[in-house]
């Protein structure tokens, strides 16, 4: 491969590939530089397959803002790429009665940052 590029992206993980995909919509010559033999061989290939909502990071943090925004668009992104996706949810459990207020706090925090479909359920419902 030779020539000049408008943009060089270092790393072919999820982030690098997503950036390359977005830049492909423009008239740019884009190169993705990856040290491994294929993309997603590093951290991206070893993740836990969780779409983070931002509920466990500080309110107002950049990470939290990206988590919320990404979680909301992830399903459409997978559909565009014909990648199976099932939004199965996450269960956070209070092990004692004393921990129940912690769930209320997490729910309120999540709602304040835009996390959708939060509910507190009892043992029987779960």
- Give the tokens for residue 7: 């943009």
pLDDT at position 6 is 97
- Which parts of the chain sit beneath pLDDT 70? 1-2
| Whole-angstrom distance, CA of residue 32 vs CA of residue 49 | 23
pLDDT value at residue 59: 85
The label of the residue with tokens 């993705």 reads 32
Say which of 52, 70, 103, 106 is annotated catalytic. Answer: 52
Examine the residue annotation and report whether 52 is marked as an active-site residue of this protein. Answer: yes
Per-domain residue ranges of the chain: 1-47, 49-126
Can you list the pairs that 8-12 forms with residues at least 24 positions away whose Cβ atoms lie under 8 Å? 8/33, 9/33, 11/42, 12/36, 12/38, 12/39, 12/40, 12/41
DSSP H helical ranges for the chain: 14-23, 62-81, 100-113
pLDDT of residue 100: 93
pLDDT in tens, 41-63: 888 777 777 888 888 888 888 98
Helix and strand element counts for the chain (H, E) = 3, 2
**What percent of the chain stands above pLDDT 70?**
98
For residue 45, list its beta bridge partners: none
């Amino acid at each position: 491969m030779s020539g000049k590029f408008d943009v060089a992206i270092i790393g072919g993980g999820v982030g690098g590939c997503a950036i390359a995909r977005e830049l492909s919509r423009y008239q740019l010559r884009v190169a993705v530089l990856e040290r491994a033999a294929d993309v997603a061989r590093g951290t991206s290939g070893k993740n836990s397959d969780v779409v983070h909502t931002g509920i466990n990071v500080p309110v107002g943090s950049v990470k939290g803002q990206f988590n919320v925004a990404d979680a909301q668009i992830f399903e459409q992104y997978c559909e565009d790429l014909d990648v199976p996706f099932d939004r199965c949810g996450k269960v956070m459990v209070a092990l004692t009665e004393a921990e129940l207020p912690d769930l209320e706090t997490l729910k309120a925090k999540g709602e304040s940052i835009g996390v959708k479909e939060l509910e507190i359920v009892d043992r029987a419902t779960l």
